[in-house]
């Protein structure tokens, strides 16, 4: 019989590659979990060991397909019905976060809907990294541990020892993210002001700031098709930059993204493993966030602050 408040870590079917590393850094094996499917595709998850009285951590990114989110909700429900003491969902990539407000009439606010579904399923706590907008934390009525990719990316950029470093945001909305990154290097920031006709299609873009002779690092929370990032990199290089590279936490990599990155002027694209890379790309470097999540799980278990995991508090 499981002892009270024992920590158990489980992985959804699509995030096992990352969950295994998180569990290894934490010092435990993943818990037994099975996902069965009916003939019509309907999912039926089950835990293969007791979770009664345990603090359960369920790891699953909600990248496409949408079944990943449904599986996570079913896992939460199964854990609650099996009398888990506390259920924390670890969602390295929180999907639907780009739909966080009504930017035109008659559209959904999907990020809030997902928050409501997680609450209805019985989630006690959420752990994630680099939400599309930090304000999304306010959609939840339970604690949110919002980790920062800077803990992984800043040491890597430091190791490159780039002179005349300038941090750039591929859009005005990411200015705060770029400024947060730049402060670790005491670097200047520049902004790319873009105008879209429709999703994933840029009508125009201009650079605000001086990049002449600089080694520029573009910062964003995710890369989807890569169109914005590649266009921004080209314009920055055309403005006289010495080199351009990019850091994006979540490699969504839809459509022709791999081809776009490979054919771009980017020196490299640095991403994390919140979403698995489905195909190799010589220009993409993947850094793991597994140890960061494992440390956060340990601090939650011990009721300690996780602020020490942020670079600005180290």
Q: Which of 8, 194, 231, 295 is catalytic?
A: 194
Q: How confident is the model at residue 201 (pLDDT cuts 50, 70, 90)?
A: low
pLDDT top residue among 132 and 194? 132
Report in angstroms the alpha-carbon separations of 148 from 152, 192, 253. 8, 22, 21
pLDDT of residue 253: 95
Q: Would residue 288 be called left, alpha or beta, if left means φ above 0 and alpha means ψ between -120 and 50 degrees?
A: beta
State which of 1-5, 26-30, 194-198 shows the largest mean pLDDT.
Answer: 26-30
Instruction: Tally the C-alpha atoms within 13 A of residue 76's C-alpha that lie toward its C-beta.
Output: 23
pLDDT at 1 over 80: no
Delimiting residues of CATH 3.40.50.2020 domain(s) in the chain? 7-148+291-313, 150-288
pLDDT of residue 187: 95
pLDDT of residue 2: 45
Peptide bond connecting 65 to the previous residue in cis, omega within 30 degrees of 0: yes
What's this model's pTM, rounded to 2 decimal places?
0.93
The model's pLDDT over 87-125, given as tens digits with 9 standing for 90+, comes to 999 999 999 999 999 988 999 999 999 999 999 999 999
Give the β-pairing of 269-272 and 243-251. Answer: parallel
pLDDT at 196 over 70: no
Active site residue 194: yes
Q: What is the mean pLDDT of residues 158-167?
A: 96
218: closest CA among 191, 255, 180, 196? 191
Rounded to whole angstroms, the Cα distance separating 170 from 192 reads 5
pLDDT at 66 over 90: no
pLDDT of residue 215: 98
In this structure, what are the phi and psi dihedrals at residue 287, rounded to the nearest 5 degrees? Answer: -110, 140
CB atoms within 10 A of CB 11: 22
Q: What is the mean pLDDT of residues 260-283?
A: 95
Q: How confident is the model at residue 211 (pLDDT cuts 50, 70, 90)?
A: very high
Q: State the helix-helix crossing angle for 150-160 and 175-182, rounded to 10 degrees.
A: 60
- The residue whose two tokens read 């993947």 is 286
Tell me which of 3.40.190.10, 3.40.50.2020, 3.40.1160.10, 3.30.750.24 is the CATH number of domain 150-288: 3.40.50.2020
In DSSP notation, 184-213 reads TTT-EEEEEEEEEEETTEEEEEEEES--TT
Q: What is the mean pLDDT of residues 65-91?
A: 96
The model's pLDDT over 302-311, given as tens digits with 9 standing for 90+, comes to 999 998 898 7
pLDDT at 200 over 70: no
Q: What is the mean pLDDT of residues 173-181?
A: 90
pLDDT of residue 85: 96
Q: What is the mean pLDDT of residues 156-166?
A: 96
The model's pLDDT over 35-58, given as tens digits with 9 standing for 90+, comes to 999 999 999 999 999 999 999 999
Rounded to whole angstroms, the Cα distance separating 132 from 124 reads 22
pLDDT of residue 90: 98
181: closest CA among 233, 249, 125? 249
pLDDT at 314 over 60: no
Beta strands in the chain (DSSP E): 7-11, 33-37, 43-47, 55-59, 86-91, 125-129, 144-147, 165-169, 188-198, 201-208, 215-223, 243-251, 269-272, 284-287
Q: How confident is the model at residue 3 (pLDDT cuts 50, 70, 90)?
A: very low
pLDDT of residue 312: 63
Three-point CA angle 142, 94, 85, nearest 5°: 40
Rounded to whole angstroms, the Cα distance separating 80 from 235 reads 51
Residues 6+ apart with CB under 8 A from 59: 9, 10, 11, 12, 15, 18, 19, 22, 90, 92, 293
- The residue whose two tokens read 């604690």 is 143
CATH class of the domain at 7-148+291-313: alpha beta
Percent of the chain with pLDDT over 70: 94
- The pLDDT mean for the chain works out to 93
């Amino acid at each position: 019989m499981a002892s009270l408040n024992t920590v158990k870590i489980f992985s959804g079917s699509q995030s096992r590659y990352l969950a295994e590393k998180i569990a290894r850094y934490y010092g435990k094996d993943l818990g037994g979990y099975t996902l069965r499917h009916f003939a019509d595709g309907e999912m039926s998850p089950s835990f293969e060991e007791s979770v009664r009285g345990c603090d359960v951590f369920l790891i699953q990114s909600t990248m496409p397909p949408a079944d990943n989110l449904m599986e996570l909700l079913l896992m939460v429900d199964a854990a609650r019905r099996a009398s888990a003491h506390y259920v924390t969902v670890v969602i390295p990539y929180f999907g639907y976060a780009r739909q966080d407000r009504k930017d035109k009439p008659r559209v959904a606010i999907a990020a809030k809907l997902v928050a409501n579904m997680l609450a209805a399923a019985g989630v006690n706590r959420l752990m994630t990294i680099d939400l599309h907008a930090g304000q999304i934390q306010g959609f939840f009525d339970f604690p949110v541990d919002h980790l920062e990719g800077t803990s992984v990316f800043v040491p890597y950029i430091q190791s490159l020892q780039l002179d005349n470093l300038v941090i750039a945001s591929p859009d005005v909305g990411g200015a705060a993210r770029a400024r947060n990154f730049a402060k670790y290097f005491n670097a200047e920031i520049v902004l790319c002001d873009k105008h879209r006709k429709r999703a994933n299609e840029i009508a125009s873009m201009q650079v605000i700031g001086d990049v002449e002779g600089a080694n520029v690092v573009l910062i964003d929370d995710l890369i989807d098709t890569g169109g914005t990032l590649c266009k921004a990199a080209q314009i920055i290089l055309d403005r006289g930059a010495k080199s351009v590279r990019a850091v994006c936490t979540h490699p969504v990599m839809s459509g022709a993204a791999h081809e776009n990155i490979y054919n771009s002027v980017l020196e490299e694209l640095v991403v994390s493993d919140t979403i698995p890379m489905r195909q190799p790309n010589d220009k993409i470097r993947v850094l793991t966030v597994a140890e960061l999540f494992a440390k956060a799980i340990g601090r939650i278990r011990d009721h300690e602050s996780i602020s020490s995991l942020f670079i600005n508090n180290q």
